[in-house]
Amino acid sequence: MKLSINKIGKLDGKTCFICGKYLLNNTSGDLAYIRLGNGQSMKAKPDKYYLFRCPKCSRIGHKRCWFDHGEKKIKRGWFKSPDWQLVCPGCGSVLSDKRPEKIDWKEGYQIPGYPDQELYELVVSDVFSWKAGSMFSKVRTAIGNFFTAVGLGSLTSEENKAIRDAADRIGKKFQHISEKVFRLEIPEGKTTDITSLTCQNCGAPLPVPDPLVEAVVCEHCNTAHLLP
């Protein structure tokens, strides 16, 4: 189940009960791999990782942590290869039947009985967008009173060109731009105080503007922002 940016925010500050690190933090080792129809595997695109909640005690951890610490080797005797079984590191509940092998992570490991479609899916770019928006929320609050919403049709030809150029920089077309445009009307002498901006429509981080740039467009919702 893919988590929206809003739902990602609900995980802020919560930690993995296995490794103790934040659930919204990830490394390259956490990224998911999928099995292809030909038996081979590849890293999932876009970059994503998963969280799994124990169905017994409801504790949440990174899927990779479950792979590293939840899979337990069950010995069967001197001359027999061991079995594998998933056990919750928190409550000790046995969560799978015994299996003759443990599939390697890069071969597309799945939680036994719980395919990736049933886990919490976090796309790395969405997590980054939420973190950046949260980090700059104070900046947005500080200058939010200086933004005025105007209609796209009310803009001058120079303003339209500035927005068209801004859209081109992020690979968007002018016809994709939202009808609502935000114009920053900041007092003289305060322009240099702007070191970062967030979208006034969705809260996602905006590209840091060059001093000569007259507009920026949100990559997430296509809302244009005119700068002084």
**Which residue type, as a one-letter code, is found at position 104?**
D
Determine whether 151 is exposed, middle or buried from the number of CB atoms within 10 Å of its CB (0-12, 13-18, 19+): exposed
Domain boundaries defined on the chain: 5-127, 136-226
Angle at 214 between CA 213 and CA 215, to 5 degrees: 100
Residue range 33-72, pLDDT digits in tens? 988 878 788 988 888 999 999 999 999 999 999 999 999 9
Question: Measured between alpha carbons, how far is 193 from 184 in angstroms, rounded to an integer?
Answer: 13
pLDDT for res 94:
95
Residue in 208, 149, 221 with CA at minimum distance from that of residue 181: 149
**Which residue type, as a one-letter code, is found at position 149?**
A
Q: Do 65 and 16 form a contact (C-beta atoms < 8 A)?
A: yes
Q: Which residue has the higher pLDDT, 209 or 2?
A: 2
Percent of the chain with pLDDT over 90: 33
Chain CA centroid to CA 137, Å: 17
Residue in 4, 209, 1, 220 with CA at minimum distance from that of residue 127: 4
Three-state DSSP class for residue 106 = helix
Question: Measured between alpha carbons, how far is 27 from 189 in angstroms, rounded to an integer?
Answer: 42
The whole-number average pLDDT for the span 26-38 is 88
Residue range 106-161, pLDDT digits in tens? 999 999 999 999 999 999 888 887 776 654 443 444 445 567 778 877 888 889 99
Q: What is the mean pLDDT of the chain?
A: 83
Residue 108 burial (CB count, 10 A): 19
Residue in 126, 132, 121, 137 with CA at minimum distance from that of residue 5: 126
How much of the chain is in helix, strand and coil states, percent to nearest 5?
30, 25, 50
Determine whether 223 is exposed, middle or buried from the number of CB atoms within 10 Å of its CB (0-12, 13-18, 19+): buried
Residue in 101, 69, 107, 68 with CA at minimum distance from that of residue 84: 101
Chain CA centroid to CA 30, Å: 13
Position 227 pLDDT exceeds 50 = yes
**Which residue type, as a one-letter code, is found at position 151?**
G
Q: Which of the given ranges, 25-29, 37-41, 67-71, 188-192, has the highest pLDDT on average?
A: 67-71
Question: Measured between alpha carbons, how far is 193 from 145 in angstroms, rounded to an integer?
Answer: 15
Position 91 pLDDT exceeds 70 = yes
Which residues face 50 on adjacent strands? Answer: 121
